[in-house]
Structure 1
């Protein structure tokens, strides 16, 4: 798997959810903070997004996509909303799945609003680097894959189609991938966009993610990247934030946590899949990283209880 796919897979829980919202007039809708990532696709009309924790308003037009990767609370409103209107914003739960007409007629706005469920206890640093709001405008010729996904979503929502129960979640998964791709294209100075375009670092990351259980060493990884050990260590550490072997250890334990939560496979199998020679070796490393044993981690995760974050 590639790094972006792994970063999403490590943090995703369950399937995305979505609701259409059609409003008109002088309207304001409040969305509470969420332990996940929120998104909006403007299917028609224009509106404004106002972050609740400060930050500049974001003007949205038809075809625009906005992702709130850290689940920040915010308000969606008509473009000229006054502060008093924003304070009286209607909770989203009271208006979703309905046509709501606020006082005063005005242009109609149609949005697809949704959420991705995320487990931040094992979030990849690529996801952590995302800004509070990722706004991708509908520009001619920009990000054709994203535009195609938005068009398909709009068509899927126009009526009842056979297979839509599977098609819609699949399209929402594609939407997240294409948003991340577009962000990396438009934010070339970010740490991870740079890391994934640096030849040596990107090659090393692909190797570690393709076969994390392999007996990697700095020398083997440098040979794979086609550079000296010192060069790889310097470039990898500068761009990724930790040396190659430290990153490998962190990623192996993140994969182990994912397997423990999402499957019933024995600890010995998890150890083998993540490059540890025995369940004891995995337990020792896991306890040092997460502050709890693999068995207790699995019990808490399955029960929906909070678990300690990885360092």
Structure 2
């Protein structure tokens, strides 16, 4: 598998929060939604994104920014503009003092702001919970990144502008898939830009030893790999492989394999009705019990809880109304626990 394809195969929006924001200066919105990933595409005019820590990012027409949660930030016409609204988990919108907006800034179907012909138009798409974006992808991104129109040309802008305001059956599914495509296109351009700092494991693909091992683990994660077997395939000793792999990738081979397997399990739990036993066999675990223990240790919830939350995110929790942008009050589902070196199952 192409390593970049492996990295980008994760985005799977489920009832994503997507709006068109139209405003005239002065305007600003404080974002404290703790969402794992938000994409902001400047269609007209300009804006500033000001994180609580780090440098502000300026957007002009055609530029795009990606904010990696859960850190809060402010988006407005200028860095010092006082926010008029506060965005909370689930896409809830309030005045900064906690009072409900009461639809005051509702301009129609998924449209929000001062007036439809405002001088600034911003398309915003938000993944509401961690399971929609792979942990490995989030780990590869800085808290805030931007792409200017001179280094990328977004072919999806006209389609997004047309689809975001449609009010038809199944429209949220259409918008979810468009958001996935937008993220993939943007991150592909970001990783390909001159001087890009790709993640360590991505750069390690060029290493003749570690690159071969990474491709083996990516292409066939269900195989009963051991460090000795991988070392033999790469033509080096176990100790040499462990040292070289850890130095370039940032974690030992078996820990990398565990992360790969469990990410695949998380996707299958969310996207299929396969039994846990079936998923365990598919990804290289000897039993549902072994997979369940490893999954809970890494993600902080059981596989069944992960599946339930994934379904809720798609059909209930945080699903937006068709008119306006007011969201449900459900909290976004929990995020995986801090990564550790884990038991990758019987093959380790």
Q: Decide which structure has greater helix share.
A: 1
Hey, what's the Cα distance between the residues in 2 that align with 1:165 and 1:184? 28
Per-residue CA deviation, residues 4-52 of structure 1 (Å, 9 max, x unaligned), is 555555574514331111111322222223232111100011121112x
Partner residue in 2 for 1:49 = 49
> Which residue of 211, 218, 221 maps to 2:220?
211
Taking a change above 3 Å as real, the CA distance of residues 59 and 206 of structure 1, as seen in their structure-2 partners, is: same
Hey, what's the Cα distance between the residues in 1 that align with 2:46 and 2:309? 44
Partner residue in 2 for 1:90 = 85
2:176 matches 1:181: no
Per-residue CA deviation, residues 66-100 of structure 1 (Å, 9 max, x unaligned), is 00022432222223x5x3x32x4333635351451
Partner residue in 2 for 1:21 = 21
Farther off after superposition, 148-157 or 58-67:
148-157
- Work out which structure has the larger RCO, using CA pairs closer than 8 Å and 6 or more positions apart in sequence: 2
Partner residue in 1 for 2:344 = none
Taking a change above 3 Å as real, the CA distance of residues 127 and 196 of structure 1, as seen in their structure-2 partners, is: farther
2:291 matches 1:282: yes
Q: If the length of structure 2 is used for normalisation, what is the TM-score?
A: 0.69
2:130 matches 1:119: yes
Partner residue in 1 for 2:265 = 256
Partner residue in 2 for 1:73 = 72
Q: If the length of structure 1 is used for normalisation, what is the TM-score?
A: 0.76
2:49 matches 1:40: no
Q: Work out the number of aligned pairs and report it.
A: 298
CA contact (8 A) 2:36 2:133 kept: no
Task: Give structure 1 regions of 4+ aligned residues with deviation exceeding 6 angstroms.
Answer: 158-164, 299-305
Taking a change above 3 Å as real, the CA distance of residues 271 and 163 of structure 1, as seen in their structure-2 partners, is: closer
Hey, what's the Cα distance between the residues in 1 that align with 2:170 and 2:139? 34
2:236 matches 1:228: yes
Unaligned stretches of 5+ in structure 1?
Answer: none
Hey, what's the Cα distance between the residues in 2 that align with 1:236 and 1:14? 35
SS of equivalent residue, structure 2 residue 155: helix
Hey, what's the Cα distance between the residues in 2 that align with 1:76 and 1:279? 45
CA contact (8 A) 2:295 2:302 kept: yes
Hey, what's the Cα distance between the residues in 2 that align with 1:237 and 1:202? 12
2:142 matches 1:131: yes
**CA apart distance, 1:192:** 4.2
Hey, what's the Cα distance between the residues in 2 that align with 1:13 and 1:190? 23
CA contact (8 A) 2:201 2:248 kept: yes
Taking a change above 3 Å as real, the CA distance of residues 287 and 49 of structure 1, as seen in their structure-2 partners, is: closer
Hey, what's the Cα distance between the residues in 2 that align with 1:22 and 1:29? 12
Hey, what's the Cα distance between the residues in 1 that align with 2:13 and 2:280? 22
